[in-house]
Each structure stands twice: as structure tokens, then as C-alpha cells.
Chain A
Amino acid sequence: MTDKREITLTVNGTERTVEAEPRKLLVHAIREDLDLTGTHIGCDTGNCGACTVLKDGEPIKSCLTFAVQADGSEIMTVEGMEDLPEASGELHPLQEGFREEHGLQCGYCTPGMIMSGKALLDENPDPEEGEIREAISGNLCRCTGYQNIVKSIEYAADELNKEPAAADGGTVTAEQRFADDDFDCGVENCCGGPSTETPHVEGADPQFDDVGGDDT
């Protein structure tokens, strides 16, 4: 029961090793071994989504995953959001959206909401309200009534769809941007361009190339 195994995770672009019992939950490894306490625990049953992180680009509930199951994977938590290229070192448009639209109150569900929001926008850059509600249906919030969370994600979608500036100085619409099938923003599982079909290159994480992350 207590035999520990060494596992390696690439967390927010940085390779980290953790000694973990096979039964240790990924969320405990993230919070207690990696000291990334932005990922929260809100239930025992996988219902609340406060522990949502991205594993190889997919949203997962880290309280339903053993740490050893994540060995070798890329994990992204809320702490990594500001390091994404579209955040340019400040709040990511999703985080900005939550602030602008008052999409949070106590903040406990917020990191999980943001990760589910990111997973949605990576796949569907211009979601309808119903699609947003569906995408966050695995994340419970007791404070906001969800309305402003939906608006926060819509805000982020609008902001992300504005960038980058078009050659004429105007903004590029989502339609223009994705009209070109070959469009590649360089971020895995992002922008509707390189999708989950894109071959995953072990060890390479283009999301963090421009922020000088320590990969060792």
C-alpha cells in the first residue's frame, strides 16, 4: 500500500517528478507534492469539477485519477494560464473574462471552471450559450447562478477571436481565421486548428516555448 513510485509529469510546461503511492489521487499530488493549490477539491464523487485540470489537453477530474495514471502526461492547471501566449504574462482572456463579467464570487470553483472553459474554447472557439452550459455541466458553482460564468467564457471567446490583428490593422474574425484549414496557431488542441488528431510530440510543449519555462 505504501510503496511509492516515481512518476514524471510535465506540469504547466515544466517537467516535475513526484513520489507517490499507487493510490494517491492526482489532485493530492498536484496540491500537496507540487504545491499548486489553485486546483481544489470540492467533493468525493467526481461531481463538482473543482479539481478539473487538463491532461494532454483534455479536461479531467483530478480527484478521479490516480497520480500514477498521469505518469508521462502533460498537465495544465490554472497556475499555467498566465504563461500561455495569449495571456502575454498577464491574465489570460478567460481569467480576464471572469473578472470583467463577475463570473466568480467565492472563487473556489473558478480554477476548474477556467480549465473547462479553456478545453471548450480550444475545441470550439465560438460556442453558443447552450454549448457553454453543456461544457461546464461537470463544474458546480454555488455562488453565481452560472449566468455570468457563461458571459465570462463568451467574453474570452470574443477576445481570443480578435487576436491576432489583421494585416490591415483590423481584427481577424473567427470565420476568417478558421476559413483556412491549414491555420495553425502553434498551440496544441487550440483554436480549432491543430486538434486532438495532431500527433502529440513527447516532451515538446509549444505552449510554453516563449516564456522560457524550465524544462528540466
Chain B
Amino acid sequence: MGAESESGSGVQSVDPDDVDAADILGSAIERREDPALLTGDAEYTDDIELPGMVHMTIKRSRHAHARIENIDTSEAEAMDGVIEVFTAADIEAPGNLPTGWLLDSLEQVDHPILAEDRVRYQGDALAVVVAEERYIAHDATDRIDVDYDRLGAVTEPSEALADDAPAVHDDASGNVAFDWDIGDAEKTDAAFDDADHVVDLDLENQLLIPNAMEPRAAVAEYNPSNDELAVHMTSQNPHLHRLLMSGVIDHPEHKLQVRAPDVGGGFGSKIHHYADEALVALAAKRHERPVKWTATRTETYLTDAQGRGHDTHAEMALSDDGDILGFRVDTAANLGAYLSTFAPAVPTYLYGTLLSGQYDIPAIYCSVTGAFTNVPPVDAYRGAGRPEASFVVERMIHRAAKEVGMDPAEFRRRNFVEEFPYQTQVAVEYDSGDYEKTLDRALDLLDYDELRERQEAARAEGKYVGVGLSAYIEACGLAPSELAGELGAQAGLWESGLVRFHPSGKVTAYCGTSGHGQGHDTTYAQIVANELGVDYEDVEVVEGDTDEIPQGMGTYGSRSAAVGGSALVKSSQKLVEKAKRIAAHQLEAAPEDIEFENGDFHVAGAPDRSMHIAEIATQAYLAHDMPDDMEPGLEATSFYDPDNFVFPFGLHAAVVEVDPDTGEIDIERYVAVDDVGNQINPKIVEGQIHGGVAQGIGQALYEGAEYDDNGQLVTGSMQDYTVPKAEHIPSMETDSTCTPSPVNPLGVKGVGEAGTIAAPQAVVNAVCDALDVDQIGMPMKAERVWRAANAATDGGEH
């Protein structure tokens, strides 16, 4: 493990049978979860059919902001096959969805699971239909008649904070959810006073809709005889969903099972606790029959928590020599209509703390105002705060390099952090890094000098070629708990892993993370097999079920390998320690004389006197001959809580050609050099980078939630919101360097979000470079680019 990848066309998969046991960690083995997914044998939530199951649909608000005058359900209730229609008025104490991250200045507002007298976004839940069949439920939903008294709506954060904006919540004055800042304002002001140059940009990071391919869904079943309630649902964190839901619907946590079957992507949208799954659980209890709800795609557009949504003004203070002296950032962040599960953390601690980028910046100050608006709740979407930070930093770096007349690569190099650990001016301390290495590798791959010459030659021929760089950093491995608690988290951010030997010597590893496409079954088995020295095929991995896994926090923030994988390492190490004592006892040697290698315990200097760990497992369960005071059995649980975040980094570069006459952008090349620390499975790492970059390119060129003046979502389907297609995404050239993290025992840093964090500004910088303009907004659709190109040639403002 830890070898740097070969540059070129991609990582080759290998069959696990062809890999030596000692090399299993770090091998690009094929994923064990694939056969079921490839043959139709996988089980996603909507695939679940239970005896007596009924279907649920939700009547949603058609207006973004309105008082509810009346909800008439009579016609729907009278339909054949309709079992019940209920509204907030029909249920005792309808629950409120909680916020799991509090800030000192946070204005907490009620978020009822069914709107009582007012709706605050198009899609707010109004009524629930339970019917014998799916089609009947949808028919009945259409026959619910709602009288609205419409109110003015606001969808942009900066508009929501204006004096005359409609009030989204009566209690939240000026639509301010919170005011938050980080860094040293005075020191930063002083840096600007001393600056030779100051550059500034207004930057919008548009609202995005996650678009996991599997719509959210839930199936609940209730057993009245023992009060046990099971909810099978599209979840990235079943334990967290269980905890939150138990409070929302007032059902005891220990009698609530949340299980994530196969989950078709999440990208953050399946972290949060939504009203929908709570309503499914309530319906199952009310009728004592299994209930299924599956979102239509229209519903996911209206209700999935959206991402980004920042309006930012950024200023950078510079010296004539090209040193960054200070950085000042002011952001209005869109939180949507209610505070979603982790919403307050995203534009604050996951954003402001990353504003030093890869650079040694002596003074930074960032202030953020969270704004309520009439759009769906905004929360974590792949990257969550860190893409917004990296976008601001790297767009400003591009602008700053131009200001001081330096090549953007050399400007970056001049300002890179070089010594680690590095304490930033925005609270976090970087664990390890080698930023020049990823820059140099990327410049080599690009043949950068030649590329610049070609760019100049092309310009002479009237062609607009541009190169955009993005030297990103992110903070992954969401944890440690104590720090998270100080910052406002209402949960710990440890991870739990149980490793259990069975008497036959086979192993099951349970982890509290919950994969939904990342290949944890494969990578965790690689980790555990390596630690225990057992065959990879002898390790089974279990995730995603509160009834099977003792505790867990889930999969988000690129945390699974760093925190969950490390928990499995810790548990495996405990097993090895116990097994060593059993081996010493049975081999009649002192424990300190026992050596462990590739699964074998042997007496030092006497390799023949040995026992394999699987054999010891059998002995541990037979328990006929155990050391004194040792309990039988061979299993261990760990709650791993790291000391710090981990900080992956890299250099992404886009080479584009822009047609100024049509505004079309052609991405000629996309080069990604990432350093995610040690790699457990390089093929899976490559896949994560590819997918992340595609989402980042999607943001740069195509995607964006757009609302009209009434708060109606204009991009409310895949017809109107461009999820990139195969023809939209270029072939990417990926490469990596390896700077292990000292924070965790695996030396891993996390990779799930890297591409999404890195890509948008690489592409925007490239287009700005091609046209020699300072700013183009995302998504860079043809009209925008055409206008920027024409303004540039006219010498006007852009």
C-alpha cells in the first residue's frame, strides 16, 4: 500500500485470487459487491415487497410560500382502495425535524413533518395518502384540494437578507438564520492596508440538486405485539436516522430498526432526516401494515436537500512580489426554508476553515450570514462547504496571479504551504502534504510550457485556448468528536467497528458506516484480511443495519476509510493481541516471545512452533485451554475517534477551447493529480475521482437549480436540469502522489469528494484564461460565455 500510481490511462483491476495475501491492502481488486448489482439481484428499497404492503404518497405544496386556508381530503378519502388520508390536524403532536448542528447565533425554527398552517417551499408536505395500490395513491393525491393564500417568495440568499424581503419565518428577523465568522478581522484589515495590490471578485456558487440515480424511498413495517418498527430506507447513516426518527415520531430507539438495503447513490442527499421517512413510519404504525413510499423524480427535485447556494464577495491583498498578504471573504449562504440535519455546519465549519487552501496566508477573515429562503432545505451535497471554499480560493488565486503578472502555476508555487503540520489562520491544522509534488506532476502531464506556447500560437490564429488550474484542499474523515462538539455538533463523529471471528476461523466485520456505491464490502475486507492475516475471501463485511451493527455514524464527508476503516483496524489489533496471548498459552511461551506474521503466531526463533489465527479462533470458542482470567470468544469492538481531520489535496487542470462566436466550451483535456494518502484499492480511488470530477464539471458547465420570482422550480426535472451525459464528460487523465496521513493507522485521507471539490474552478479558470476575462458565472452556459467573450472583445465589463 502507498505506492504512487502510474500515470496514464487508468488502473487495471485484478482478481483477488491472483493477489498474495500480504499484498491485499493496496491492490486494485475487483469489487465483491458487483455481481449482485450486475445481474439484477441487488435489493434497493423500492424492490422490497412485503405481504399486505400498502402504498403511501404525499400531497405537496404547489406554492413556494403561502398560508394554508383549507385542505379538503374528502374526495380522496372516498376513493376505492384509499385507506386513509391524513394531515397535520389528524395526528397527535406532529413531530419536528431537528437540527443536528447548532451555532451560537442560530435562529432555530420549527420544521414540522406536515405543514400546519403555512408552506415555505414548493414541495412542503401537506397530507399523506395511504392506499392499497401505488396508482390509486397517486390518483387520490391529485384529488386533495388545498386552498392557499399566497405570500411573497424569495429564493436568493442576498435578496433574502435585503430589507424588503418577505419573511420566511416570523421569528427569524431579516431571514437571518445565523451570523458567523472565523479568523482575525483586525489583522486582516491591517494586511489590506499594507497591500500593494487588492483584487476582488463577486462569486456565486449556484444551488445544485444532488440527483442520486435512485430516488429516496422507505418501507416501514410495524409489529404491534412487541412494538417493533422496522424502516428500510435509502440512508447513508442508518443509526443517525434511527436516533433522529425515534425522537421525531416518539418511538423508542431500541425498538426501531433502520436498515439501508442497496442504496443507489447519495452524494449527501441521503444523510438528512426528511419528513417523508418519518411519515412512512407513522403510517405503518397507524395501520399496522407494511407501507411503502418511493419518491418520484419530481419529488426528489422538489424535496431533496440541495447543495451550495453561496453569494460571496472575496478580496485578496497582495505584495508586488506575488505574496498573498491577506484574504477577506463575506458570504451569504442559502439555507432554504428550514434548517436541515447538518445545514448550519456546511457554510461555516466546513467552509470557512478551508479558506487558506494550499497557501500560507498570514491573515484571513471570513464572515457568513445564513439566510432562510423559499427553496428546499439546503444541506450537505458532495463536498459540502469545501467545494465552496476551494472555489473561492482558486478563483481568487487565478485572479491574483494575473494582477501581479505571474504565471498561475508559479504564483501558486510561491505561496504554497511547505512545512507540516501547518496551522492555518482559520482554526484547522493540516496533517501532511506535498503540494509542489502534485503541481509538478500535473504540469508534467500537461506539458505545461508547451501548452502555454500553443495557447499563444492559437490565439494568433483566432482560437481561444485556456488552461485552468485548481490546487484544492479538503478536510475529510469527519471527526474528532470533541472538536465537533465544541463547534456545535449534536453528535459524536467517531466510528464503530466490530470484528468477529467465528469458531471455524471465518470472520465477519461490522462497521457503522453505510456505503452506497463506494465499495466498502471490498475495501473493508481488504483492511481486515490484511490486519488479521486471513484470506480476503474469509472476511464478510456487514454495514447498514441498526439491528446488526452495534453503533455507527454513517458515510459522508469522505470519512468511511479514515474513520470506519480505522475502527476496523483497531478492533483487528485487539483480536491479534488476545489471540497472541492464547497462542502463547498453548505454545507454552511467554506472550512477548510470540511473533505474528501473515496470520501465524510463532515462538521467536522457533518458527515450527506456530498456530494460525484461525486455529486460535477455534480454540477461543472451544475454551478448553485458555489463559487464566481470559474470557472465551474472539471478537472486539472499537469506537475510533481520530485526533484530527485529514487533508487530501491535489492539482486538477482543465484545458479548454472556447468558441467566442457560439459560447461553446470544449474540454480538450482534464488532468487530475490527487494525493489521498495511502490507497486501499486504487481502482476504487480512480472511480471516485472520475465521478467527483464529472459532478464538478456538471456544476461548471451545466447544472443549477433555477427558480422563478414566485419560488417555482424551473429546473424541476431531468428534462430541465442537466445531469451530465456521457457525451458531456471528457476522458480524464488521472494520476496520484502519496503522502500518508499521520492521523490514522491506515495513513488514508479520503477520496469521495475530491473530484467534486477540485473540478469547477479548474474549468472556470480555464475559460477565463481562454477569453482573458476575470469572471464568468456558473453554470457557464453558451449565452453566458458568449456575453463574456463579447464584453471582453469590446473592452467592457464582464
Contact = CB atoms under 8 A, between A and B. Distances in A.
A150 interface: yes
Given A106-B264, A146-B694, A133 B39 contact: no
A91 B49 CA distance: 26
A26 to B, nearest CB: 14
A38 interface: yes
B39 A144 contact: no
A141 B34 CA distance: 16
B731 A40 contact: no
B779 interface: no
Interface in B472-509: none
A145 B297 contact: no
B265 interface: yes
Contacts of B35: 91, 99
A35 B46 CA distance: 12
A200 interface: no
A5 interface: no
B726 A137 contact: yes
Interface stretch (A67-75, A108-116, A165-173, A184-192): A108-116
A108 B213 contact: yes
B731 A147 contact: yes
Contact of A41 (B30, B46, B690): B46
Interface residues of B, number: 60
B725 interface: yes
Contacts of A36: 40
Contacts of B215: 41-42
Contacts of A114: 38
A47 B134 contact: no
Interface stretch (A77-85, A174-182, A207-215): A77-85
B298 A44 contact: yes
B415 interface: no
Interface in B604-663: none
Nearest to B36: A107
B684 interface: yes
B469 to A, nearest CB: 20
Contact of A142 (B267, B297, B693): B267
A145 B729 contact: yes
Contact of A145 (B36, B690, B727): B690
B690 A106 contact: no
A107 B517 contact: yes
A104 B34 CA distance: 8
A144 B691 contact: yes
Instruction: Identify which of B31, B41, B211, B725 gathers the most chain A CB atoms within 10 Å of its CB.
Output: B725
B13 interface: yes
B719 interface: yes
Contacts of A151: 10
A48 B297 contact: yes
A78 B47 CA distance: 15
Interface residues of A, number: 60
Interface string A139-155: 11111111111110000
Interface in B698-729: 717-719, 723, 725-727, 729
A102 B369 CA distance: 42
A21 interface: yes
Interface in B118-156: 134-135
B39 A81 contact: yes
A137 B727 contact: yes
Contacts of A52: none
Contacts of A6: none
A145 B262 CA distance: 20
Nearest to A23: B135
B46 A142 contact: no
Given A48-B213, A140-B725, A147-B731, A110 B38 contact: yes
B530 to A, nearest CB: 21
A16 B581 CA distance: 62
A131 to B, nearest CB: 11
A102 B31 contact: yes
B745 interface: no
A118 interface: no
Interface in B252-278: 262-265, 267
Contacts of A44: 296-298, 717
A142 B726 contact: no
* List of 4 A-B pairs having minimum Cβ-Cβ separation, nearest first: A38-B40, A107-B37, A108-B264, A106-B517
Interface of A: 21, 23-24, 28, 31-32, 35-45, 47-48, 50, 77-79, 81-82, 91, 95, 98-102, 104-111, 114, 129, 132-134, 136-137, 139-151
Given A44-B717, A145-B729, 13 more contacts: A37-B47, A40-B214, A41-B215, A43-B718, A50-B213, A102-B30, A105-B691, A107-B264, A132-B726, A140-B718, A142-B212, A143-B265, A144-B694
Interface of B: 10, 13, 30-31, 33-44, 46-47, 49, 134-135, 211-215, 262-265, 267, 294, 296-298, 516-519, 683-684, 686-687, 690-695, 717-719, 723, 725-727, 729, 731-732, 755
10 contacts: A24-B135, A37-B44, A40-B213, A45-B718, A78-B38, A78-B39, A99-B31, A107-B33, A145-B690, A147-B732
